[in-house]
Amino acid sequence: MSTPLNIAVLGCGFMGRAHSNAWLQVSHFFTLQHKPVLKVCCGSSNDPAKLNKFREAWGYDSVESDWKKVIDRKDVDVIDICVPNHLHHEIVLAAAKAGKMVVCEKPLAMNVAEAEEMVAAVEKAGVANMVTFNYRRVPAIALIKQLIDEGRIGRPYHYRATYNQDYTISPEVPQGGRALWRLDAKVAGSGVTGDLLAHSIDTAQWLNGPIRRVVAHTETFVKERKHVDSGKVEPVTIDDACMFLATFANGSMGTFESTRYARGRKNYNTLEMNGENGSVFFNLEDPHLLDFFRYADPISGKKVEDHLTGWQEINVTNFEHPYMKNWWVPGCTIGYEHTFTNSFADFLSSLEGGPKFEPTLRTALSTQRVCDAVLESAKKGSWVEIGG
Ligand code: SOE
């Protein structure tokens, strides 16, 4: 007999859809004791038709338009937060106080001060919690972690991350409102730093350990845009692009770049690591592939013969690759939505005595510290040490 786990998803936009799909799919593909039940979805009261359509599409039992009522409900176990960033803090505090498990979209908060209170709240309440840095659960990225742990990269020298998109190039794109709140700093907290580089920083610290100091430069290319709410042209205060240098505690160097002005780049989330024994390169636009350069084999202790060295493209779809035994047969790829399903599978497994789930809110706080330091450095024009 499975144990029902009642889920409330707050937010019926892009992320609300991604999470609803993953909660629905997870027990089809993973053998788990808990069976998620889509209990209630919660969205804006301004558009009841949209809310009802969302409920029907995903099969929720009920709808609410006030998140506080959802938290008060006795029949909800998990509060899954897919609403804009400025609401995360208040909701997490209330959910933790009510003893609910917390799932929160990234970035965790608007700033470190908020994030610290959120961590304190979930830890005081002792509730299971996670932040959906879903790219850790791309099988190829999880395979990089395995290669690192096996010593196949060896002493790391360089970490290079990019996260580029192109959807805000036109000055006619407005800011704010339901679709474009990511362009409104009052709602999003920051631009590409919180929205895109938070992913890159989470992955980087998972793979390569803590970042110790950063120096950054940001740019806002379009200075004014019409605001959807006021209908007026208003200053743009988010960072459209951000580049920063980082040093890691392990002595390696990092470069990070993100923009929404890279014509032709849609979700170009890449990473490259160069170490003493080998290198890896990954690009989310080809998520089933991992490029691996093997120089020395730590298992045999031997250097690869010179005439055999070269970049190897691994098709990460074998049963032996992370998560892939739960999906299809070798050669059949999985994509974006599966990274959320893989995340929820690991979260549920951790409730059932499996490995402790990461990243928790505490881990996401460390990403928030780097994001805040990056923005501070860009303002000051100098290096900033990461505190905490
Ligand atoms: C921005 O366009 C965005 O939707 C991010 O907010 C997501 O976190 C990322 O996964 C895809 O791009």
Q: Across residues 303-325, what is the average pLDDT?
A: 96
Element (H, E) at 362: helix 361-380
pLDDT of residue 180: 95
On whether residue 350 sits in a domain, the answer given is no
Query: Which pTM does this prediction carry?
Result: 0.98
Q: What is the CA radius of gyration of the chain?
A: 21
What is the average pLDDT score of the chain? Answer: 97
Q: Which of 134, 151, 174 is the last residue of a domain?
A: 134
Judgement on whether residues 126 and 146 belong to the same structural domain of the protein: no
Q: Across residues 319-346, what is the average pLDDT?
A: 98
pLDDT of residue 299: 86
Domain containing 157 — which CATH number?
3.30.360.10
On whether residue 76 sits in a domain, the answer given is yes
The whole-angstrom separation of Cα 270 and Cα 107 is 19
User: Considering only CA atoms, which residue is closest to atom 10 of ligand 1?
Assistant: 196
On whether residue 340 sits in a domain, the answer given is no
Q: Which of 105, 134, 163 is the last residue of a domain?
A: 134
On whether residue 351 sits in a domain, the answer given is no
Structural domain for 376, as ranges: 136-333+360-380
Judgement on whether residues 104 and 234 belong to the same structural domain of the protein: no
Judgement on whether residues 376 and 366 belong to the same structural domain of the protein: yes
pLDDT band at 200 (very low <50, low <70, confident <90, very high): very high
Flag whether pLDDT at 185 surpasses 90.
Answer: yes
Residue 17 near ligand 1, beta carbon < 6 Å? no
CA of 314 to the centre of ligand 1 (A): 26
366 is written with which tokens? 């460390």
On whether residue 327 sits in a domain, the answer given is yes
The whole-angstrom separation of Cα 101 and Cα 128 is 5
DSSP code string of 86-148: GGHHHHHHHHHHTT-EEEEPSS--SSHHHHHHHHHHHHHHT--EEE--GGGGSHHHHHHHHHH
Residue 350 near ligand 1, beta carbon < 6 Å? no
CA of 245 to the centre of ligand 1 (A): 22
The whole-angstrom separation of Cα 308 and Cα 334 is 30
Mean pLDDT is lowest, of 38-47, 104-113, 222-231, for 38-47
Q: Across residues 301-320, what is the average pLDDT?
A: 95
Among 267, 284, 339, 367, which is best to mutate for testing ligand 1, by the most ligand atoms less than 8 A from CB?
267
pLDDT of residue 87: 98
Judgement on whether residues 140 and 130 belong to the same structural domain of the protein: no
Which atom of ligand 1 sits closest to the CA of residue 106?
A: 8
pLDDT of residue 45: 79
Flag whether pLDDT at 167 surpasses 90.
Answer: yes
Judgement on whether residues 61 and 180 belong to the same structural domain of the protein: no
On whether residue 349 sits in a domain, the answer given is no
Judgement on whether residues 286 and 146 belong to the same structural domain of the protein: yes
On whether residue 386 sits in a domain, the answer given is no
Number of domains in the chain: 2
Judgement on whether residues 97 and 146 belong to the same structural domain of the protein: no
pLDDT in tens, 100-154: 999 999 999 999 999 999 999 999 999 999 999 999 999 999 999 999 999 999 9
Judgement on whether residues 167 and 63 belong to the same structural domain of the protein: no
Looking at the chain, the whole-number percentage of residues with pLDDT higher than 90 is: 96
On whether residue 374 sits in a domain, the answer given is yes
345 is written with which tokens? 């599978």
Q: Across residues 215-231, what is the average pLDDT?
A: 97
Judgement on whether residues 166 and 57 belong to the same structural domain of the protein: no
Flag whether pLDDT at 388 surpasses 80.
Answer: no
Judgement on whether residues 210 and 269 belong to the same structural domain of the protein: yes
Residue 195 near ligand 1, beta carbon < 6 Å? yes
**Residue whose token pair is 């929720």:** 60
Judgement on whether residues 52 and 34 belong to the same structural domain of the protein: yes
pLDDT band at 205 (very low <50, low <70, confident <90, very high): very high
Domain containing 47 — which CATH number?
3.40.50.720
pLDDT of residue 1: 85
Residue 267 near ligand 1, beta carbon < 6 Å? yes
pLDDT of residue 387: 82
Judgement on whether residues 329 and 295 belong to the same structural domain of the protein: yes
Flag whether pLDDT at 44 surpasses 90.
Answer: no
The whole-angstrom separation of Cα 299 and Cα 35 is 40
Flag whether pLDDT at 24 surpasses 90.
Answer: yes
Q: Which of 134, 153, 177 is the last residue of a domain?
A: 134
Candidates 34, 42, 17; CA nearest to 94 is 42
